[in-house]
Amino acid sequence: MDKILLKYPDEGEPTRIDLFLCREMDGESRAGIQRLIENGNVLVNGSAVRPSHKLKGGERLEIEIPEPQPAEPQAESIPLDVLYEDSDLIVINKEAGMVVHPGPGTASGTLVNALLAHCTDLSGIGGELRPGIVHRLDKGTSGVLVVAKSDRSHQALSAQFSVHSVKRIYQALIYGCPAEDSGKIEGIIGRHPTERLRLSGKARHGKHAVTRWRVRERYNRVSLVELRLETGRTHQIRVHMTEAGFPLLGDPLYPDGGRINNIPDTQLRGMINRLGR
């Protein structure tokens, strides 16, 4: 097994160990981290603990990453837009509408199914349903995705995401024109209290999320912004910009995001409609 060594800050506030590891091990779900803790793969000062154990300051953590598991999803011949590939990794331009990996209700047609046909072998560290997957994009989001073909590259990429040395930069059209030229949005993101499909920055429980934004261009009621993610939470950009009062144009899930027809500039409105997702 591979090991990760961490130290909780000497002056750190009392924090549950599963929440602390969720912040430090970007890309890992809280449920997955809790399984590691419950299986004895996480030691605090040499002793096994429960997921609810509170860190108080100065503790040394030892996390054992289980041996890679064989990838079991079926290979499917699905076209891929490959931007780069070598023996260790492959970079994909994921199209909107494609799910990254199999899960409840989605057993086929995913990026993983397509990758298994294209590569024949992927890193097994992500588990049976997520071979090679180091980070994710929402189903409705298009963009660049890096996938590990070897265990060595998976470990290296995961470490880079964990310490935030990987820079994730996005561009988005938002409804409205911020008064400031740049800013930072920080808080937790968790399940929306009433809308099952949405997430919220006002949830009682969630994961820490940080987004930095900068206006690149202002139009009539619309702005083009650049967004840099310091964390990679599900729906992070959508939640942060919506709750800041500037929803993403064309987003049907979050309030006011789909108001493209309200844009007074007909030429701009036509261009946006042609962009797709």
Catalytic machinery residues: 138
Alpha carbons 227 and 215: distance in angstroms, whole number = 9
> Which residues on neighbouring strands pair with residue 147, listed in sequence order?
90, 133
* Sheet of strand 60-65, all strands in order from the earlier edge strand to the far edge: 2-7, 60-65, 42-44, 47-48
Tokens of 30: 């809280």
Read off the DSSP letter of residue 220. Answer: S
Helices 30-38, 17-24: axis angle to 10 degrees equals 120
Using an 8 Å Cβ cutoff, are 200 and 251 in contact? no
Using an 8 Å Cβ cutoff, are 205 and 253 in contact? no
**Rg, Å, the chain Cα set:** 20
Alpha carbons 132 and 150: distance in angstroms, whole number = 8
Tokens of 44: 């605090």
Alpha carbons 24 and 231: distance in angstroms, whole number = 10
Strands 42-44 and 89-94: unpaired
